[in-house]
């Protein structure tokens, strides 16, 4: 998979293929609400396995039963195909 920052028109084209993700600057973001902290933490751990496998890691914010993930390719300073692929994999686990 190519590691290059996607141009704005390509980002706009790909964004509708993601369920409930939004664009916030140079990041993809999505939030989930779970019944309790334990389920939120279990989700974070499943995301961690995906991230380690992909060697691509989201920023994670957890507040009790709410989890917000933010994806960007830090070393390139923008969104790449890696971010969209990881977002799809995360959607597949929840």
Alpha helices in 1-94 (DSSP H): 8-14, 37-54, 81-93
- Report the SS3 class of residue 47: helix
At residue 16, the pLDDT reads 97
Q: How confident is the model at residue 1 (pLDDT cuts 50, 70, 90)?
A: low
Tokens of 78: 């923008």
- Whole-structure pTM value: 0.94
The contacts found for 13-21 with CB under 8 angstroms, 24 or more apart, are 14/84, 17/84, 17/88, 18/84, 18/87, 18/88, 18/91, 19/91, 21/87
Domain spans of the chain, in order of start? 20-93
User: Domain 20-93 class?
Assistant: alpha beta
Indicate if the pLDDT at residue 2 is higher than 70.
no
Q: How confident is the model at residue 3 (pLDDT cuts 50, 70, 90)?
A: confident
């Amino acid at each position: 998979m190519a590691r290059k920052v996607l141009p704005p028109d390509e980002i706009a084209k790909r964004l509708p293929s993601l369920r409930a993700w939004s664009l916030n600057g140079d990041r993809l973001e999505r939030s989930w609400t779970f019944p309790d902290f334990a389920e939120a933490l279990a989700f974070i751990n499943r995301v961690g396995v995906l991230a380690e496998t992909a060697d691509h890691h989201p920023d994670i914010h957890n507040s009790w039963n709410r989890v917000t993930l933010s994806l960007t390719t830090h070393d390139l300073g923008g969104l790449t195909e890696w971010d969209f692929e990881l977002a799809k994999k995360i959607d597949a686990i929840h």
